[in-house]
Amino acid sequence: MKLQLEKNADNKGRRGPVVLLIMDGVGYGKYADGDAVRAACTPVLDKLRAVCPNTSLKAHGTAVGLPCDDDMGNSEVGHNAIGCGRVLDQGAKLVGEAISSGRLFEGKAWRELSENCVKNNSVLHFIGLFSDGNVHSHIDHLKAMLERAKKDGVKKVGIHTLLDGRDVPETSAPDYIKSFENFLKTLNTKDCDFRIASGGGRMVITMDRYGANWDMVKKGWDIHVRGIGRYFKSAAEAVETLRAETKAIDQDLPPFVISENGSEPLRPIKDADSVIFFNFRGDRAIEITAAFEEDNFEKFDRAPRPKVLYAGMMEYDGDLKVPKRYLVEPPRIERTIGKYLCDSGVAQLAISETQKFGHVTYFFNGNRSGYFNKEIEEYVEIPSDIIPFEQRPWMKSAQITDKVCEAVESGKYKFIRLNYPNGDMVGHTGNYQATIVAVSALDLCIGRIVESVKKAGAVLVISADHGNADDMFEHDKKTGEILHDRKTGEIRRKTSHSLNPVPCIIYDPESKGEYSGDLKSGLGISSLTATCLELLGFLPPNDYDPSLLVLRNINKWG
């Protein structure tokens, strides 16, 4: 269906394009200590905040479709909300409701997988992020499925744990493992054997995205499926040993395989087994799904590729129909700004480096792959370096900026969206000094874009999808004091996203006062969409969340 935007008769927009700049993971921090954004050298952002219309926006919890306001925002739901201009229930909430109502277990996919294991006396495997971070997965979802699997008569389960330390405290894996092993004891009987089978850090195995590093997926395949890896008698032993040897935080721990006898893996994935990838978020689920499902697969040698029934927690790509079998219907996100603008003949550019390229394309377009109209859209991916982000914290910000400045001044596009990953990707490492460098590099790049915007008579809208770099130390929730490690006395680093609001700054050098210098307050990042449409000279759809602009009684723009 073609979606046509209505033009605003009193507003022709500006000479140049509207540029939506997403500073991924950059929020307004609550505490001075550990706020790498506040500590960074940011003269450009400081000046823009002093002279331009600006406000703060909500970017977590119910403001982006998550179950409650204790849930941190993330790049997936953030770009979904910005792309579609309104708030829709997201994966965590949809899965939770499907489990509590029993719909998940009544569905065809669950019945096929569980009945396959009962019929063949085979193993039901679960692979996924092993925490309650609620960004990619939630361990309570796993526990509920295990309880139901036992009720349905499944006798053997293998759990393949992707250790977090990114959306939860960086060395919390032992706590999750201990609690989970105690939970398994309540399920296991003489005839029921549910066990952890393998694991490793989420940034080492399985959870690659956007084709950045397929070797991660191969490592995951080797330990989950082939049982090839270093043997340990338990997950607790593996984490303790590997931590002592490498000093790595959870997300970076090497892979391990559980073996009771030290000569063969406890529970590799074999023919006739069933496999559930229980992450609900799609970006880091698509590659391992391809390894299980695609016949013509050339990324690495899968031999032997077992004949299994495979399902994802949700449909990860609605256009590609991936995976073929899934447990919960994903949010149906339609009528995005990208679709509206294409149908209205507005030329667009989307650009980032590999680590966030899918966010300004796939997620921004409502979990949709590909172009709406390739004749007037261009998507540019700058290949990310395969290197620890703290070792090169500026990432590809300069290269992104080169392309954006050229595009702004070219006159080819009317709407440009870009994502700088620095604040988020470096923030997740927990390296405070490197994150200060990352945000400082970001500020330099924004300064260059400001000059191009001024030259082209464009409008620059600066915001973020969620916080991260603004909150890098663990604080006591009651007193606000910095928390320290009891053994070493060192500050406890925070690697997860924050619950802080994010900036919104509008730099409009050719403004003639058509809107107030004070933007609306109390709104969420979904309001960026209507704001961009108004700046482009269109009337936003009636059901989009309200624009941030406070329009004045001036007849004509431009």
State what percent of residues in the chain have pLDDT above 70: 99
- 3-state SS of 162-209 is EECCCCCCCCCHHHHHHHHHHHHHHHCECCEEEEEEEEEECCCCCCCC
Between 71 and 156, residue with greater pLDDT: 156
Judge contact between 197 and 265, C-beta under 8 A: yes
Say which of 56, 75, 516, 527 is annotated catalytic. 75
pLDDT of residue 317: 80
Q: How far apart (Å, rounded) are the C-alpha atoms in residues 274 and 215?
A: 24
Each residue's pLDDT tens digit, 203-231: 999 999 989 999 999 999 999 999 999 99
Read off the pLDDT of residues 477-531 as tens digits, 9 standing for 90 and up: 889 999 998 888 999 999 999 999 999 999 999 998 889 999 999 999 999 999 9
The pLDDT of residue 70? 87
Q: pLDDT at position 556, please? A: 57
The class (CATH top level) of 6-87+332-539 is alpha beta
Q: What is the pLDDT of residue 555?
A: 52
CATH number for the domain whose boundaries are 92-328: 3.40.1450.10
pLDDT tier, 90 (very low <50, low <70, confident <90, very high otherwise): confident
**Is the pLDDT at 557 greater than 60, yes or no?**
no
Confidence class of residue 553 from pLDDT cuts 50, 70 and 90?
A: low
Q: Model confidence at 129, in pLDDT bands (50, 70, 90)?
A: very high
pLDDT value of residue 424? 96
SS3 302: coil
- Tell me if the pTM is above 0.85: no
Q: Is the dihedral of CA 406, 213, 362, 419 positive or negative?
A: negative
How many Å apart are CA 441 and CA 444, to the nearest integer?
5
Structure tokens at 398: 């300069």
| Model pLDDT for residues 48-59, shown as the tens digit of each residue | 999 999 999 999
Predicted confidence (pLDDT) at residue 173 exceeds the cutoff of 60: yes
Mean pLDDT of the region 311-321: 86
Pairwise CA distance, residues 117 & 14, whole Å: 62
| Average confidence score pLDDT of the chain | 95
Domain residues of the chain, as ranges?
6-87+332-539, 92-328
Specify whether 496 is catalytic.
Answer: no
Of 305-309, 337-341, 364-368, 448-452, which gets the smallest average pLDDT? Answer: 364-368
Specify the amino acid at residue 294.
Answer: E
Cα–Cα dist 194/273, whole Å: 14
The CB-side HSE value for 214 (13 A sphere, CA atoms) comes to 11
